[in-house]
Structure formats: C-alpha cells, structure tokens
A and B are shown apart, each in its own frame.
Chain A
C-alpha cells in the first residue's frame, strides 16, 4: 500500500516536473524566438535593407554551405589554435607567478603591484601595433597579444585569492606542522581556487575578444579574418555566418568554463545554487 502511494506521488510530481520544465524552457526562450522572428521578417518585408541585414534563414544556409565547403571549420580551427595557445601560455605563466607573488613574495608583490596594474590597464588594442612591430605580423604577435590580455585577470585574481585565504585556516593547518609545500597543496590552493577560477574564466573571455580583434586587424586566417574579408567583398550572409559562429563559440567556452568551475569548486555554496 505504502509503496503504491509512494510511486503515485512520484508519478504525479514527475508530471508536474515536465510541465514545469516546459514552462521554464518557454520562459527562457520566448525572447529569443521573438527576436529571431522579427529578424527574419523585418528584412523580408523591407523594414530594413536585406542587403545589410540578412535574415537568420539565409545566415543558416550560408553557414551550412561554409561548413560543407570546409571553410568555416578551417577558420574556426585556425582561431582556436591561437586562442588555446595564448590562453594556455597565460595559465602556465600567470598562475604560478600569481601563487608565488601572493603567497611567498609578498614584499615584492607590494612593489610590483602598481606596475602590474598600470600594464594591465593599458588597452590591448592600442598595444597591438607595438606587438606587431616587435614580433612581426605572423602568428607569434597574435598569440602574444592574446597571452598578454588574458594573463592579467588570471594573475590578479590568483594573487588576491591566495592573499585572502582565511588566516584561521592557515593557523589551524599550522597546528598540524605542515611543510610549506603541503600547506600550499592542502590549504592555500583549494582555499584560493574560487577566486582563481573567476580569473581564469575572465581570462578565457578576454582571450576570445582579443583573438577576433587581432584577426580583424591583421591576419590571413581565422574567424575574425573571415568576417572582415566577407564584409569587404560584400558577402553579407557569410559575414553574419562568421558573427554567429563567434557568438556560439563564446557561449560554448563560457559553458565549459562554468562546468569546470562547478566540478572543481563545487563545495562552494553559491556555485551549487
């Protein structure tokens, strides 16, 4: 009897769940649907010039063509290689540097922090010509500028994260007589991870911004290059296909970062909720 009641109530609640789920999907997608509809209809009925604003259906078919011809894939891969290399370099350099400055060399950190803040504040687009002058117009200058942009949030957040570890946790760990290395692995690193992750996530999105910018200014491949080239040759649907691809990539990257963050710092209440 009891189990019967149990399954019944479970059944009921799952029915409710489906309705709730549909409701929430509807609630979250309605604005996007209306936006796409307006976007589709407005150029077609002549509200806006169809030459400048392609309707989504045209963009979609253009994207399919570009995928079939292989161009979109090639350009995306070219872009991803740059962003992954630049971002990876930033992780390799800025993370350890941040831990060292925030955790061990606090006095040095105090002296270099103002300089780092100034460097970090410089608008990277204005620095791009400098990078090109120094490193040429090849891949290196693009990767270098991406590295440059995303190292700052990673570095600053790592320093802050490690400096703001609850001193009581450190004191507690000291009673256990941990070595410096153990203290880092068991206390400082996990305790600073949420802040560090914020920096990594910011770095990833900065890297992506900079990538497209750099490719638009001077490159012969990549999504940014494709967008600019399509614009100058007046292939408007292709241009939009590039824009949409960049947007989708941005969403994917953000999602991946959030997922990673959830997995590694899932103990943080605010992230679970």
Chain B
C-alpha cells in the first residue's frame, strides 16, 4: 500500500521570547513563520526529498506530516483525507535513533507493533524479519548501548518499517552518522525501498544525499520556509546502486543545479544566523560564527 501526500498552503508559526531585542526597538512581536505557505504534491510510491539549509523549517514540516504538531493554517491530505494526529500508517525515523535503552533491538522493533495491537507471536516474527532486512540478523538480543551509531539507526528504520506504514517519514536520518556509514546506509535504504515500496518523504541538508536518493527534490527557502522549486532527478533507480553513480554527468549536473538553487538560501540563513548572533549573543559571537551552518555544503559540492 502506498499513499500520496498533498500539502496545501501549510503555515506554521512559532512564538519566541525576544526580550533581549525589545530594547533595540525591535517589534516585540514574538512570532515568526517557520513555514509560510508550503504547497506540495507527493505521489504514491515516490521517494521525495526536501532539501534546505539548516533552520529553514524542514523538521517542522515533517512533524506536521507526522501529525505531531498542528499547522496554523493550511492542511495536509493523505489520500485525500486530512491529517488529524499521529497515526501508524505514517512511521517516522528521526535524526537520532530514539531507541528505548531498556529494550533489546528486537523489543525496540516490536514497540510500534505493540502499539498497533499485533499479537506477541506474530510481533516477534515480524520484528526478526525486519531486523534481518536492515542487516541486523543476530543482533536481536543486543541492547542499544551495545550497538554502534549506524546499527542503532538501522534498528530505528526496522522499527518504522515493521508496522508496514504507507508512508515513511525520515528526518535527516543519516546526519548524525560518520561519512562511511552514511554512504552504506544510503545504498541500503535504496535497496530496502525497492523491496518494501513505500512513499518516502526524506529530509536532508546534504545535496549529495538528495541526488542519490530522490525521485524528486524540493528545495526549501530560508526562514520563512516555502518551497522554492521542485526538480526531477534524471537518474534511473537501478543506476543509483552502482558505485560510480556519483561521477556520472547527470549526477554532477543535478548536484550543481541544486547547489545553485540552494546557495542563495544558504547565504540568507547565514545572514540570519550572524544577525542573531550579533544581536543576541554578543559574547558568544565567535562561537556562532564557527558553527556557521552552511559551511558543510560548499565543501560537499567541491569534494568530487
């Protein structure tokens, strides 16, 4: 089963306390738009990636699709029906694995099945099946602290897949992993996707990741977040698993195109960040410049 997702004019604001700014004549209106009118149409069975600079509201968007927060305006339709809250036909994989440390891998994978009311015997079999699908057969009885970062994230993916959701929501699932593990996980995710056939909504700030995984990529603008463009990735699914896909002309071209689209937004976020850091954290200024969020992206594109 696969579902399509329709996003109509989605808006989400956040309240922030900016008492520090109020003496500078700033309007002390403590609202800013994380999302300001997002429109999207994600087809059933599609691998859809949202690419954007840090802090542009990507995760907010995913939370909204997951039903974890409510929009201020607009709506999200799944197969034509509006979202009313979290549901087990949408499974989320977060940036951190979010495993229960007191449960073994097997029982962590079973967690959502329990919530779904699946019987114990079936639950165990299903959990085993999905653990082996993500390459963790034999690790059923390990506790999270006995697993590496990549393995934990695999357990989290198995947990999401085990309930056989129609939509898989992934919020920068590989961002916290080291570079090698990330590449392996990306390829494995492609294979898993081919085996399980789900609609995947995947969020990332890595252009390479977007080009490698996506059928279509939506570029999101800096705060307030809206969709700037949606582009098709002209690389057939089969080709993506080959080792040299990243040096093919299509790949390089698409990556360049995305970088051009993204660059402006990245600069904008950097400006926002710098402005914030000067206004809000005069003392912590140097620290904020150091972790300027966009730095990783130009390096990323130059790497090949």
Contacts and interface: CB of A to CB of B under 8 A. Distances in A.
B66 interface: yes
Nearest to A268: B101
A190 B102 contact: yes
A176 B86 contact: yes
Interface string B106-117: 000001101110
B32 interface: no
Contacts of A172: 92, 94, 98
Contacts of A267: 101-103, 143, 145
Contacts of B92: 172, 175
A173 B91 CA distance: 11
Q: How large is the interface on A (under 10, 10 to 19, 20 to 34, 35 or more residues)?
A: 20 to 34
A175 B86 contact: yes
Nearest to A264: B102
Contact of A177 (B98, B115, B145): B115
A190 B101 CA distance: 9
A1 interface: no
Interface of B is mostly: loop
Interface residues of B, number: 24
A190 B67 CA distance: 25
B68 interface: yes
Contact of B87 (A168, A177, A186, A265): A177
A265 B101 CA distance: 10
Contact of B91 (A174, A175, A191, A268): A175
Contacts of B112: 175-176
A95 to B, nearest CB: 18
Given A175-B112, A176-B86, A267-B143, 15 more contacts: A168-B94, A171-B68, A171-B94, A171-B98, A175-B86, A175-B91, A176-B88, A176-B111, A176-B112, A176-B115, A176-B116, A177-B88, A186-B114, A187-B100, A267-B101
Interface of A: 166, 168-169, 171-178, 182, 186-187, 190-191, 193, 265, 267-269
Shortest beta-carbon contacts, A-B, top 4: A176-B115, A172-B98, A267-B102, A269-B145
11 contacts: A169-B100, A172-B94, A175-B68, A176-B88, A178-B115, A186-B111, A186-B114, A190-B100, A265-B102, A267-B102, A267-B103
